[in-house]
């Protein structure tokens, strides 16, 4: 959901086809219709004519939406664009000093990271997630092999190789392979990466037919994973 900026002044200059209010209403609509949906966005700092208030409006948009992922850049002139033609004709000027653009971008990145961390700890930590296994993580070793994959909101997740073969045989241990779907429980939630305990291998159909809650699983005193109250 590319926002580009958080102020109507900037959106108008950029010739975007939305207002801040319409954008936020659409975000609200999606979250009502699709519980658990997450958003990524594109943001530009230092566009021609951007004021300090415009910049603050972008920061407040980040805080209000709570993006899971964001691609953030400083504005740079590109030939043959609308802004380039305006500058060439002397109507606009690329009027912000590079140091100001850099500072505002740093503000945006910091705001995004702080907001994303708080949201991840609120909506991901201790939750049950479905992950598609990509393969071994970059930090995996022979002594401590780990896999990585993506949740259904495209957040990277890292977990051990071994897990239950399916939800009815949690203690029948198998090793996960690239392309498997695995149900995990999130132990650590950061800005862009989650650390998790793999529970069992599954399929999309099987997972969609079940109602998962973190309290459905617990580890007993012998370190054995147990399943409780799973609704099929």
Counting every residue, how long is the chain? 232
Residue 86: give its domain's CATH number. Answer: 3.30.750.200
pLDDT in tens, 137-148: 998 998 899 999
As a whole-number percent, the residues of the chain with pLDDT over 70 amount to: 91
Q: Which of 123, 144, 172 marks a domain boundary?
A: 123
Residue-averaged pLDDT of the chain: 89
User: Would you call 52 exposed, middle or buried from its count of C-beta atoms within 10 A (0-12, 13-18, 19+)?
Assistant: exposed
Which pLDDT band, with edges at 50, 70 and 90, does 217 fall under? Answer: low
Residues contacting 81, CB < 8 A, separation 6+: none
Q: Of the given ranges (66-80, 115-129, 211-225), which has the lowest mean pLDDT?
A: 211-225
Rounded CA-CA distance 96/49 in Å is 8
Whether residue 109 is found in the same domain as residue 134: no
User: pLDDT tens digits for 195-210?
Assistant: 999 999 999 998 888 7
User: Is residue 188 a contact partner of residue 194, using CB atoms and an 8 Å limit?
Assistant: yes
The verdict on residue 1 lying in a domain is no
Please state, in angstroms and as integers, the Cα–Cα distance from residue 51 to each residue in 57, 91, 94, 99, 104, following that order: 10, 17, 12, 14, 11
pLDDT at 232 over 50: no
Q: Quote the number of domains for the chain.
A: 2
Please report whether residue 33 resides in a domain. yes
Residue 43's domain spans which residues? Answer: 8-123
Question: Within this chain, do residues 152 and 219 fall inside the same structural domain, yes or no?
Answer: yes
227 has a pLDDT exceeding 50: yes
Sequence-ordered list of residues with C-beta below 8 angstroms from that of 217, at least 6 positions apart, any chain: 128, 185, 199, 225, 226, 227, 228
End-of-domain residue from the set 93, 123, 153: 123
Residue 172 lies in a domain: yes
- pTM score: 0.85
Q: Which of 11-20, 108-117, 127-136, 215-224 has the lowest mean pLDDT?
A: 215-224
Checking if the pLDDT of 231 tops 60, the result is no
């Amino acid at each position: 959901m590319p926002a580009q900026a958080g102020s109507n002044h900037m959106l108008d200059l950029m010739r975007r086809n939305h207002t801040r209010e319409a954008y936020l209403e659409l975000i609200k609509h999606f979250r009502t219709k699709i519980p658990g949906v997450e958003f990524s966005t594109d943001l530009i700092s230092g566009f021609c004519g951007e004021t300090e208030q415009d910049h603050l409006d972008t920061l407040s948009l980040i805080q209000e939406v709570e993006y899971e992922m964001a691609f953030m850049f400083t504005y740079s002139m590109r030939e043959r664009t609308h802004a380039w033609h305006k500058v060439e004709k002397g109507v606009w000027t690329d009027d912000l000093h590079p140091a100001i653009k850099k500072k505002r971008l740093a503000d945006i990145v910091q705001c995004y990271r702080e907001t994303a961390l708080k949201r991840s700890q609120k909506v991901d930590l201790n939750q049950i997630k479905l992950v598609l296994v990509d393969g071994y993580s970059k930090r995996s070793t022979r002594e401590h092999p780990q896999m990585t994959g993506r949740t259904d909101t495209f957040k990277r997740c890292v977990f051990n190789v071994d897990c239950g073969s399916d939800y009815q045989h949690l203690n029948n241990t198998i090793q996960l392979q690239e392309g498997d779907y695995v149900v995990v429980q999130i132990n650590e939630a950061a800005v862009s990466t989650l650390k998790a305990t793999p529970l069992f291998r599954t399929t999309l159909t099987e997972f969609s037919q079940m109602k998962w809650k973190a309290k459905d699983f617990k580890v007993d005193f012998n370190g054995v994973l147990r399943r409780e109250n799973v609704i099929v």
